Amino acid sequence: MAHAHPGRTSARHPGWPARLGPLRVRAGVVALRPVRLRDGGAWSAIRIRDEEYLAPWEPTMPGGWAERHSPGEWPARWLQLRSAGRRGTALPFAVTLDDRFVGHVMVGNVVREPLLSAYVGYWVDSTVAGGGVITGAVALVVDHCFSRVGLHRMEATVRPENAASLRVLEKLGFREEGLFRNYLDVDGAWRDHACFALTTDEIRPGGLTGRLVAAGRAERVHSAPA
């Protein structure tokens, strides 16, 4: 039955807040949790240092990069993210590597019945890039969205020039649906984006995390009882 989902409940935003993982990848142990007020220092330091690496792929915003990513900007952003999480329109995850904040996986535009759909976006600290962190993190998040959150479709849009992001989606088995022309104002101009998606019927037993484990790209880690 197309609309049957394990774990679907009548709560307004099932599956949030949530902690996902841990999962071992090449770079270390990845986990996800809701963003915190005290992530501000690490968020600001990474984002300011990584301007050149992040800016080509991110929506154009008013104001200078350093100003928009100063530590003082985080509390207002965090409040917005937290309230989107509480309203049920987003799942704003912090990604940690060996318990250190290294980036975000953001599930946004959560639309419930009848679409049961959302987009997923992500970035990671350049010093740990290429270590499998975001592939592992997105696998955990998509599996969670298709189970506890009860979604049916997850979408990701990527500039065709973004080889690293395309590779993440390829490793996870996202299906390319087409090209959105002049879709998003990124890095100062309207840019084409390739649209990728997955629906629940495409997910094999074990989910995306199981797919990474089977491919030797990740290992499940058993967390110690609290």
Ligand X SMILES: CC(C)(COP(=O)(O)OP(=O)(O)OC[C@H]1O[C@@H](n2cnc3c(N)ncnc32)[C@H](O)[C@@H]1OP(=O)(O)O)[C@@H](O)C(=O)NCCC(=O)NCCS
Which one, 94 or 168, has the nearer CB to ligand X? 168
- Which CB atom, from 167 or from 220, has the smaller least distance to ligand X? 167
Which residues lie across from 119 on neighbouring strands? 108, 155
Beta-bridged to residue 33, according to DSSP, are 94
As measured in angstroms, the least distance from the Cβ of 25 to ligand X is 7
Task: State how far the Cα of 142 lies from the Cα of 5, in Å rounded to an integer.
Answer: 14
Q: Choose between 53 and 183: whose C-beta lies nearer to ligand X.
A: 53
* Binding residues for ligand X (CB under 6 A): 53-54, 57, 122-124, 129-135, 158, 162-165, 167-168
Collect all residues with Cβ–Cβ distance below 8 Å to 104 and sequence separation of at least 6. Answer: 35, 92, 93, 94, 95, 121, 122, 123
Comparison of 87 and 100: residue with beta carbon closer to ligand X:
100
Strand partners, 153: 117, 199
Residue 88 or 131 with smaller CB distance to ligand X: 131
At its nearest, how many Å lie between ligand X and the CB of residue 11? Answer: 30
In whole angstroms, how close is the CB of 169 to ligand X at the nearest point? 9
In the complex, least distance from residue 99 CB atom to ligand X, rounded to whole angstroms: 17
**At closest approach, how far in Å is the CB of 12 from ligand X?**
28
Alpha carbon distance 119, 158 (integer Å): 11
Burial state string for 91-111 with b = 16 or more CB within 10 A and e = fewer than 16: bbbbbbbeeebbbbbbbeebe
- Answer for the pair 53, 70: CB distance below 8 angstroms, yes or no: no
Using DSSP bridges, classify how beta strands 20-25 and 219-220 pair: parallel, antiparallel or unpaired. Answer: antiparallel
